[in-house]
Amino acid sequence: MPAPTPHLDLASIDLTRVVADLDAIKQVIPQRHEMLQLSAIVHVDTAHHLIVGYKDVTADEFWVRGHFPGHPFLPGVLMCESAAQLTCFYNLSNKVTKGALIGLGGIENGRFRRAVVPGDRLVLVGKGLKVRSRLTHFDVQGFVNGDLAFSVEIIGVVLVKGFEG
């Protein structure tokens, strides 16, 4: 299967211009400790429903010891979780869901194209396909050093109404 067309030119994004650091991300999304899978948000374009963030993959993460011993690879399920958290940040910070927490309702068309290992920066680019108050559908692409590592469609559904991030 051929690689999808990138949602934007990554060279046009300044990864050092952080829009939301780890503390700001924690103010918006509820994940904590081992389950927080974002390091920073670097670009948000609400007119085109685009968001760019990254996860710095480190050697001290909980999965490194066992996935796989001596050759650690970031599990695909955690790449998908990073993508879901990126879209959650977009939804909550832009009040798309109007006070409701959107959770992972589905994953479609997931493809993994290269290993992501400790020391890598996984740059995530999300593009909203459907962005509505009760359901969102984002296409997320993950890159390492400009190479496509994975792509997945994330469907978000309302989990909790009256959510205060």
Residues near 155 by beta carbon (within 8 Å), at least 6 away in sequence: 104, 105, 106, 107, 108, 135, 136, 137
Structure confidence at residue 117 as a pLDDT band (50, 70, 90): very high
Residue 6, amino acid = P
The 8-class DSSP code of residue 20 comes to B
- Examine the residue annotation and report whether 67 is marked as an active-site residue of this protein: yes
Give a yes or no: residue 5 inside a domain: no
What's the token pair of residue 12? Answer: 């046009």
- The pLDDT of residue 163 is above 90: no
Residue with tokens 């899978």: 37
| Alpha carbons 95 and 104: distance in angstroms, whole number | 17
Count Cα neighbours of 26 within 13 Å in the Cβ-side half-sphere: 9
The pLDDT tens digits for 2-25 are 889 999 999 999 999 999 999 999
CATH number for the domain harbouring residue 109: 3.10.129.10
Residues of the chain above pLDDT 90, percent: 89
34 lies in some domain: yes
Which domain, by its residues, includes 118? 10-161
Whether residue 73 lies inside any domain: the answer is: yes
- Cβ burial 84-103 (10 Å sphere, 16+ → b, else e): bbbbbbbbbbeebbeebbbe
Residue 77: is it exposed, middle or buried by C-beta count within 10 angstroms (0-12/13-18/19+)? exposed
Of the residues 33, 43, 67, 137, which is catalytic? 67
DSSP E strands in the chain: the ranges are 40-45, 50-56, 100-112, 121-131, 135-144, 147-161
CA–CA dist 158, 161 (Å, integer) = 7
The reply to whether 32 falls in a domain is: yes
Q: Is residue 87 part of a domain?
A: yes
Q: What is the pTM of this model?
A: 0.96
| Measured distance CA(158)–CA(72) in Å, rounded | 34
Alpha carbon distance 101, 133 (integer Å): 10
Q: Are 84 and 108 in contact (CB under 8 A)?
A: no
pLDDT bracket for residue 165 (50, 70, 90): low
Domain-located, residue 148 = yes
Count how many domains the chain has: 1
In a domain, 138, yes or no: yes
